[in-house]
């Protein structure tokens, strides 16, 4: 059985005015934790994490895996949404990840991720850990906490969408949320679709609130603990008064019973 991982962290978003601080640290922290659990790990940071490179490296990682292998992809960066154009989203939105070259190349939608993970061979355990916002409102900054400003990992669609798509975005911004399940991979996410994931600081070191808590919880799990056990442990600390985000675990019942990062 092979265990491979790709850890992506993007602080730098040129032309958006919305750079982050903790995502590169997140990626390196996830990489260290995964390497300690026997994974062969690649790291993709900032300018290296273009849309093309992310899709290419994620696709290669998933397609190269054979039955019994474990593939883990972690992403820390901005999340966003774009107007749904194929009619498969009741809320009129496709949730999306934001590559470094978002303004030039566009977002990576949940449709693209679904297709990418669906191409895996039977018996491959694929996991996506996403520390980003998948929210529908246009708020960008959270209120400061203490001396450390806290930034929300959500990038408003109008920052990067072309003018001809903004009317669709305005329609989607008032639609009732109802998305459909995405179960081609097990997804461990930092928040609900209607919430924000927070870019924070712990001991004067920037991190995502979710990544920091999730990795703390991972170290406290007993051998053989499942993903369900892991998210339960994470939820002992999140949501909190400082970080009102609710970590999510989306997958089939059998996927939820997989041993965490094993």
Is 7 a known active-site residue? no
Spell 121-147 as b/e; 16+ CB within 10 A means b.
eeebbbbbbbbbbbbbeeebebeeeee
Torsion angle, CA of 153/211/62/46, rounded to 10 degrees? 50
C-alpha–C-alpha distance, residues 183 and 40, integer Å: 24
Strands 198-202 and 79-83, bridge-based pairing: unpaired
- Written as six digits, the tokens of 204 are 């004067």
3-state secondary structure 216-246: HHHHHCCCCCEHHHHHHHHCCCCCCCCCCCC
C-alpha–C-alpha distance, residues 186 and 125, integer Å: 8
- Written as six digits, the tokens of 230 are 């892991």
Helix (H) or strand (E) holding 150: none
SS3 237: coil
Is 133 a known active-site residue? yes
**Structure-token match 């929210």, residue found:** 135
- DSSP annotation of 145 reads B
Q: Are 123 and 68 in contact (CB under 8 A)?
A: yes
Out of 98, 133, 134, 191, the active site residue is: 133
C-alpha–C-alpha distance, residues 234 and 45, integer Å: 25
SS3 158: helix
Out of 78, 100, 134, 191, the active site residue is: 78
Q: Are 126 and 210 in contact (CB under 8 A)?
A: no
Catalytic residue numbers read: 78, 133
């Amino acid at each position: 059985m092979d265990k491979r991982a790709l850890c992506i962290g993007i602080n730098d978003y040129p032309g958006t005015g919305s750079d982050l601080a903790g995502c590169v640290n997140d990626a390196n922290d996830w990489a260290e934790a995964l390497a300690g659990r026997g994974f062969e790990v690649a790291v993709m940071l900032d300018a290296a994490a273009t849309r093309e490179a992310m899709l290419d490296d994620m696709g290669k990682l998933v397609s190269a895996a054979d039955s019994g292998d474990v593939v883990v992809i972690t992403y820390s960066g901005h999340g966003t949404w774009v107007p749904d154009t194929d009619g498969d989203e009741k809320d009129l939105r496709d949730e999306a990840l934001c590559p470094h070259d978002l303004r030039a190349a566009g977002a990576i939608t949940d449709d693209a991720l679904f297709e990418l993970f669906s191409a895996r061979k039977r018996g491959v355990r694929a996991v996506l850990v996403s520390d980003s916002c998948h929210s529908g409102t246009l708020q960008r900054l959270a209120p400061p906490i203490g001396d450390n400003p806290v930034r929300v990992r959500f990038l408003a669609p109008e920052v990067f969408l072309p003018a001809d798509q903004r009317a669709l975005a305005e329609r989607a911004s008032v639609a009732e949320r109802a998305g459909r399940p995405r179960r081609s991979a097990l997804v461990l996410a930092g928040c609900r679709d209607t919430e924000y994931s927070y870019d924070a600081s712990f001991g004067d070191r920037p991190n995502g609130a979710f990544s920091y808590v999730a990795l703390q919880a991972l170290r406290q799990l007993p051998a053989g603990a499942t993903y369900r056990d892991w998210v339960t442990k994470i939820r002992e600390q999140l949501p909190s008064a400082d970080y009102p985000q609710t970590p999510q675990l989306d997958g089939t019942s059998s996927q939820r019973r997989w041993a965490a990062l094993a």
